Amino acid sequence: MSPASVPPAPAPARIAAGTPAFKRSNRAMFFGGFSSFALLYCVQPLMPLLSHEFALTAAQSSLALSVSTAALAVSMLLLSSISERLGRKPLMVAAMAGAAVLTLLCAGAQNYPQLLLLRAALGAVLGGMPAIAMAYLGEEIEPSSLGLSMGLYISGSAFGGMAGRVFTSLLSDWMSWRVAMLAMGLAGLLAAAEFYRSLPASRHFTPGRGDWRALLAGVRQHCGDAGLPWLFAMAFLFMGCYVSFYNYLGYRLLAPPFGLSQSLVGMVSLLYLLGIFSSVWAGRLADRLGRRGVLWMMLAIMLAGLLATLSSSLPLIIAGAALFTFGFFATHSVASSWVSRRAGAPKALASALYLFFYYMGSSVIGSASGVMWGRDGWNGVVLVLALGLGLALLIALRLRGLRPLGQAELAMASV
């Protein structure tokens, strides 16, 4: 048989649930999600302490988080384009290690502008993780298992967000916020090492051009889709509401009539354990029932939890926060897996656009709601967030009528 007549080798199978590669990839992505959220959001419970040490308002203190998420949102677009040429795993490993080192440097910041500069650099470096992780899963995991795998990645994010907030609250109460940042940086280095060890190499990645023309063409392609722009807008709203909620809940619980300690306020972050469950549960549910039928219900749960926190009863406030947290991680799991499922090439850019709006919502709404806190307290914050979630719920209801992709379009999206 001549070489020209030799049939091409079949493409390697995608990673299926239950296989050793599936377990390794999910373990790695769990650590990736843990590190990303822990390092990004570990400053959130420290905001009242930063306000005291550097004589800041609540809105000014929130910049320690907002500059990171804004830099992350912008850098993801560039780094996702670079990943189309260089591959997924190297950039993700570099992002996790770099963010850990910058967190260690934050522990030694001499003034607030210096801390903001380091936090902005952390966000820019960390841009090499979230969107590329979603693209990796979309390329390597078989479609019928994608919802579960994405849910496990987001559960790692939930655990990281919880651990980062709880540990920094405890350490800052017992020692100092600088010791807390040092501990988080060391944990980030360990997570990066485990990620590198566990993640299987890409088998379905095809290098692209990765230049500005390809970037702009990809943006036009994804924004021209009937569903993706609505998912991007929804991500801006529900993430902005979520970050704002936890930005200022701590201020409320530290103040009269509650007067809780920094450690007890940090323990509220244990509610993130609900997110670990809800992200996986919602991912499985979406795989069975379809994302368009599940997404709006998760947003309704978020809104109900938010409104419950208007109560002056501490147990009811905690119950509302639990419901709000459960609904957020379920919403993010369903929406992000829908983007990965629906988007065609370049997939990393579609994920980056989703997360660009996701993190820009964190920066814009997170800081703007601080102004409302200064003017009208918790009632003002809830008013802004209820309007945002109400708009996101309307978008989710509109997406119930979105035409599914045909088989040919699904095949193209998987290329």
Indicate left, alpha or beta for 290 from its phi (over 0: left) and psi (-120 to 50: alpha): left
Give CA–CA dist 140/10, Å, rounded.
Answer: 15
Own/partner pairs, 174-183, CB within 8 angstroms, 24+ separation? 174/263, 177/46, 177/49, 177/50, 177/53, 178/107, 178/108, 179/107, 180/42, 180/46, 181/42, 181/43, 181/103, 181/104, 181/106, 181/107, 182/104, 182/107
The full length of the chain comes to: 415
Domains recognised in the chain with CATH numbers = 15-413 (1.20.1250.20)
Structure tokens at 192: 């990066």
Structure tokens at 359: 């993190």
Confidence of residue 262 (pLDDT cuts 50, 70, 90): confident
Cβ atoms of 72 and 128 within 8 Å: the answer is no
Give yes or no for residue 259 having a pLDDT over 60. Answer: yes
Give yes or no for residue 1 having a pLDDT over 70. Answer: no
Mean pLDDT calculated for residue range 274-298: 79
C-alpha dist (Å) from residue 154 to 80, 151, 211, 295, 346:
19, 5, 29, 16, 22
316 or 208, which is more confident? Answer: 316
Indicate left, alpha or beta for 18 from its phi (over 0: left) and psi (-120 to 50: alpha): left
Estimate to the nearest angstrom the gap between the alpha carbon of 249 and the chain centroid.
Answer: 20
Structure tokens at 203: 């088998």
**Residue 214 has what pLDDT?**
66
**Residue 411 has what pLDDT?**
41
Lowest mean pLDDT among 13-17, 239-243, 343-347: 343-347
Indicate left, alpha or beta for 212 from its phi (over 0: left) and psi (-120 to 50: alpha): alpha
